[in-house]
Structure 1
């Protein structure tokens, strides 16, 4: 798999030195504290349980089965049943994550109607490209932001809200949002160790410990390690994570939960781009192709500290507040395809020359995030009232250095006869592009009221006021703006098993600071959107199955485009270079089914249709000015599990279908259908699971990028074996 030729020793050692230094920044203190907390909590817990019988009852609502869990806070910030929410919501349970051996979020897209992979952590969400509407425990602060994909070791479940989320969660694209619910400390005593292996040299181990320390204190400690080669040349990955925390019962009505999450991710031969294709979507070379050298890398280190305080003033008035701190540092050095080179001297640089140019980049980034969320519910005879606010502060430092082409010392690459190792990054003439990062502040207040007119009819209305201030440290350009985003949803419940809903919601997305500066004399307004959605939710078989059918139309306005009347150097004082103009329409329908049909059968299935068009103006992420790239019209996903009680085993099978897509440069991305399967067997306290992804080893592309970078190839067949032991 790997090309043994490698002369990039200086680059390799520089990279390792940086990572070691970065790791030590936290390791001396953080690892000692984390390890000490885990060991001490475990020891105290054992002593406590040996000396007395500690009993704690945790109230979590309706008992969760396998795949169906209708309890959620996403979309309303109140404890609610999905059947009572006038929004399209999905919950992916921990059991579903385990059955699919999902190790990062891309493994779960098959189970989310209307979501497909765009690139890295970016998705196409109801037709719109999005990589920023990511939340953890209902607040902003993604430790994997950028070109890393969220890992799932510290995730209990994944919640998805479809449509604009700005009325409660602030600015973003109108397609929807994803919320990761973290694993929490617990009074329930559990001790588990898991060992993982598989092809592509997959090797990993993890441990999970929870339990009571005292009558009023519980703990959690988790540790995770995994390393794997890639099917892509020169690439591999290493993931390290320590996570845990403590829960304090401060009386009968107050609970404080503190958690930490320390993450190290080392990706060799990254950032991964695509594989060149022809216009029909056929790979020109083997999907293992990678433009990166062996010494290239993408390394991430993040520390998340979070505190959540819940208090019940009385039966009708509660408080929920979260403080989240995030320190994230990322270092990258990679090669990227630029264009063909006229090697054969025919005067045309094209595929016949077989050689591409590359560029080399390195950057460092540091971000700090603080979130305050105030959530209260005032429950009267006819009202459920929520009011609160949040504040979000981000500061980034960004260094961007680049070398291009042979003039800067970057060697060309023959993609048909790979000549890795002939270029040496330590000799490149790197140019500092003076990218210094930004400062961003967002503050908001919001209110929501759910009014029950009768047992059958209810109305949920709400609005949020946002103020945001952004400063570019490149140019010291600073601007601020504000926006109000309303939302309303009508609920009709003719029976306990049926809910019909109609909602209207809005979104906004602040202007990028660089666009704001380039605009000139007339300030730009935020991009805005609105959605109308009609849906039907149905509960079947005494609540064992739930289905949702939804149809929607989204309109997005105020796109930022070039001003056709602007002439640089002639009318700068009267005409802006960029203006707000344009309209995008996204229309679609979705169907989801999730349920535990019987004690032995669990199932989740979905289908989505979407058609997104640029009606006026132009925007990025399109391939012909009217249709969005990587926006499939049809998607379908299915996963079913069958328990074989007689032999303490279960078998599961799944399928993922995505219809034809088009890349940013108009090249076809072929439709694909992928099958997966798993087998699980229990022996007393030991659990063996075998998962096979891409069962028939299909060659396919998950999405398209540019012509020079190609399509992102899907992974070939992967076998993952896990042995888990509870003690």
Structure 2
């Protein structure tokens, strides 16, 4: 089991420790008067949940469920945590999610698997198109469901699911303004205002805007982001609310799409981390418009409906130089090609969830019946200009770039336009739709023993508009779980879940159509509310098996005589342990800490035959990772000091090169003034550590982490 037994033994010890500890703390708290016992209900006294800890999330069940009663690992990153870390995009927060590390752009590694599975308010519709990183201006909190999520959310990779909960209008007047300054030319301004319309208590609005620009530490690169949002909310009655939202993103990233910096096989950078293959005229430009409509209605105290529709319109244009590697072995002259690409997509989704709470046969049931539909139309066109002379020894349409002494300005769209006009566009046009129907029952058999079970049917279809080819899949996914609470502050849980990843259209020579890739997860753990409910601690151990994985056909005749290039014989196993704790150590001291151990390997199919696999292992999947963030209040100074650490262990790149372990430290000072204004200074990468955030392929190198930076924020809430 390759270390899994050790992980299981560790978890067993933690289960016993948490159980015993939880009982002891429960008894201690009752004796000290820290809890009030009102019959069957325990009321927690204190400041728990005010900063970083929340006690409830609906992500894992689609019903309001206490995290302690959820038989799967869930994390919630609060708005306060986002603000304290001065996070502007989701990559700023990976330290706070156990089992999640950076892969590339908006992609992550979750429980060993590369993926980009996200939702907004629980539904599909990603406005960032994969190469731009999600921005956090309009986000209230981030929820993370660990592991397989197919029964509730349909097709996807088995490592986990990130859900962005958006801000909504408030029926009381309020708002915030913020100014941001920093090194490398960082400056920005943002603000929002919310409240009732014309003094009415049944209609509310929210308007917000965000603008920020900065230079990157990489040559020629930078960011310019603008976000606008408008929302309205209407309560026609005490049991009904309708919320309409409109968002617009205008993202311009000069000198992008960023690749890495070349390294040797030991993972050492071969030049300064500012090196960039892109010219100053290169860019990534994204425009997205998002419309969302949410209806909630309570038919009765025990029966409620949530209906949400979302439409996303994206257009993303990229012009960039891609490294082709050294002109000759050992050369510092790197060949390049110029890529001109345009992506458009239109996505629409609708989700309906009906929740019925009732006592049946003496047991409390929460029954969920739901369905979702997702439709997408996507186009892609691209053309590529390459170097005439493969050794780069004579002038060509795309000039090479020296690794040590780069000279820019000899290549780019304007210089290559005549040649590009002679190159035909490569085009794809696809459309797809998928729908799912699901049912789930949460049963409280006794106060101490809860069960959950559910099933989902999925249908998927994709069509190539140019060739007329199509592919379709169907799948049924199940889940089951149990929670046992020996004392109210402690829960022991076990769960089983299934998921699938539908396979799209394949080239006739590759074989197919292929069945969905399937995954199964077994997870067990313990959750405990410690120190009178101030701290929520979770320990989880999991085993994920992904099968039906498509691999290169080992037959020597593959690709000839009708023998397909691909076959569906692969299997991947991921095993690991995750430890999380969040809450208040004292009234002044709050923290969030996590640790993850993971072992992901090929257990079926030839080594290296699976995408992202390097031999038996997987790229950018660390065995160990640790994250910490803590805040301490200084009441006499009307201030707080905060800081954190992010450790990611050794990994390998897609080309098998070492990606070295690193530890980065951050620090923050926050002061509130008498007039209500707040000042905050964040120093990221405090000790200016040079490190690789992840690895890619040898010709493009590793993605370097950002050097030390300073961010100053001045804000006021009203």
TM-score (norm 1): 0.88
Deviations 1:479-520 (A, max 9, x none): 1110001011111111110011100011110113235x4433
Cα displacement string for residues 194-246 of structure 1 (whole angstroms, at most 9, x for unaligned residues): 10000011000001111111221011111000000010000011000001301
Distance 1:496 1:404, change over 3 A: same
Q: Give the distance between the partners of 1:175 and 1:387, measured in 2 at CA.
A: 25
Q: Whole-Å Cα distance in 2 between the matches of residues 73 and 294 of structure 1?
A: 45
Structure 2 counterpart of 1:617: 605
* Matched position secondary structure for 2:211: strand
2:63 equivalent in structure 1: 78
User: Following TM superposition, by how much is the alpha carbon of 1:621 offset from its aligned partner in structure 2, in angstroms?
Assistant: 4.3
Name the counterpart of 2:346: 368
Select the residue among 317, 325, 331 that pairs with 1:339: 325
1:183 maps onto 2:161 in alignment: no
Which residue pairs with 1:511 in the alignment? 503
Which residue of 1 is the match for residue 551 of structure 2? 561
Residue 257 (str. 1) matches residue 243 (str. 2): yes
Match of 2:572 among 581, 584, 587: 584
Q: Deviation string for 1:694-713 (max 9, x for gaps)?
A: 00111111110010000000
d(CA) in 2 for partners of 1:569, 1:713:
38
Maintained 8 Å contact 2:548/2:571: yes
**Partner Cα distance (2:351, 2:140) in 1:** 21
1:90 counterpart = 2:92 = no
Secondary structure of the 1:724 match is strand
Q: 2:329 aligns with which of 335, 350, 359?
A: 350
**Separation of aligned partners in 2, 1:673 and 1:679:** 21
Aligned residues of 1:621 and 1:664 also touching (Cα < 8 A):
no
Equivalent residue for 2:694?
Answer: 703
CA drift at 1:622: 4.0
Mapped to 2, the partners of 1:569 and 1:276 lie a distance apart of: 33
Asked if 2 retains the 8 angstrom alpha-carbon contact of 1:596 and 1:603, the reply is: yes
2:533 alignment counterpart: 543
TM-score by length of 2: 0.89
1:72 positional shift:
1.2
Cα distance in 2, alignment partners of residues 674 and 137 from structure 1: 31
CA deviation digits over 1:81-140, x for unaligned, max 9? 111110100000000000000110111000000000001100000000001x11000000
8 Å CA contact 1:357, 1:405 repeated in 2:
yes
Distance 2:175 2:297 in 1: 29
Q: Is the 8 A contact 1:399 1:432 kept in 2?
A: no
Tell me the equivalent position of 1:600: 588
The answer to whether the Cα contact below 8 Å between 1:566 and 1:576 also exists between their aligned partners in 2 is no
Give 1:221's aligned residue: 207
Q: Which has the higher contact order (CA 8 A, sep 6+)?
A: 2
Residue 557 of structure 1, CA deviation: 0.5
In structure 1, distance between residues paired with 2:493 and 2:434? 31
Q: Residues 274-353 of structure 1 correspond to what in structure 2 (within 5 A)?
A: 274-341=260-327, 349-351=328-330, 353=331
| Counterpart among 358, 377, 382 of residue 380 in structure 1 | 358
1:305-330 deviations in whole A, cap 9, x for unaligned? Answer: 10100000000000000010110110
How far apart, CA to CA, are the structure 2 residues paired with 1:569 and 1:487?
A: 39
Give the deviation of 1:423 after TM superposition. 2.1
Identify the range of structure 1 (249-258 vs 467-476) with the bigger mean alpha-carbon deviation: 467-476
- What residue is the counterpart of 1:234 in the other structure? 220
Indicate the residue corresponding to 1:402 in structure 2.
Answer: 384
**Distance (Å, rounded) in 2 between the aligned partners of 1:254 and 1:695:** 49
Match of 2:149 among 165, 170, 182: 165
- Is the 8 Å Cα contact of residues 185 and 244 (structure 1) preserved in structure 2? no
How far apart, CA to CA, are the structure 2 residues paired with 1:450 and 1:514?
40
Stretches of structure 1 that go unaligned for 5 or more consecutive residues are 1-61, 342-348
CA deviation vs aligned residue, 1:423-472 (integer Å, no higher than 9, x gap): 24334333335222311100110110011221111110011100010012
Partner of 1:21 in structure 2? none
d(CA) in 1 for partners of 2:546 and 2:190?
Answer: 44
Aligned length: 653
* 2:8 corresponds to: none
Secondary structure in 1 matching 2:256: coil
Equivalent positions of 1:639-650 (< 5 A) are: 639-650=629-640
- Structure 2, gaps ≥5 residues long: 1-46, 390-395
Q: Which moved more, 1:685-694 or 1:369-378?
A: 369-378
Structure-2 separation of matches of 1:244 and 1:190: 15
Query: Does the 8 Å CA contact 2:433/2:462 hold for their aligned counterparts?
Result: yes
C-alpha separation in 1, matches of 2:506 and 2:403: 35
- Whether the aligned pair in 1 keeps the contact of 2:338 and 2:412 (CA below 8 Å) is no
450-459 or 110-119: bigger deviation? 450-459
The CA deviation string for residues 296-352 of structure 1, in whole angstroms up to 9 with x for no partner, is: 0000000111010000000000000001011011000000101211xxxxxxx112x
Question: What secondary structure, in the 3-state scheme, does the structure 2 residue paired with 1:432 have?
Answer: coil
* Aligned: 1:483 with 2:475: yes
Equivalent residue number for residue 192 of structure 1: 176
Partners of 1:262 and 1:197 in 2: CA distance:
23
Superposed CA RMSD in Å reads 1.5
Matches of 1:275 and 1:505 in 2, distance apart?
39
Query: Does residue 464 of the first structure (1) align with residue 456 of the second (2)?
Result: yes
User: Which whole-Å CA distance do the structure 2 matches of 1:612 and 1:568 have between them?
Assistant: 28
Aligned residue in 2 for 1:42: none
Q: Deviations over 1:559-602 (max 9, x none)?
A: 11222337367531xx4332111111100000000002332111
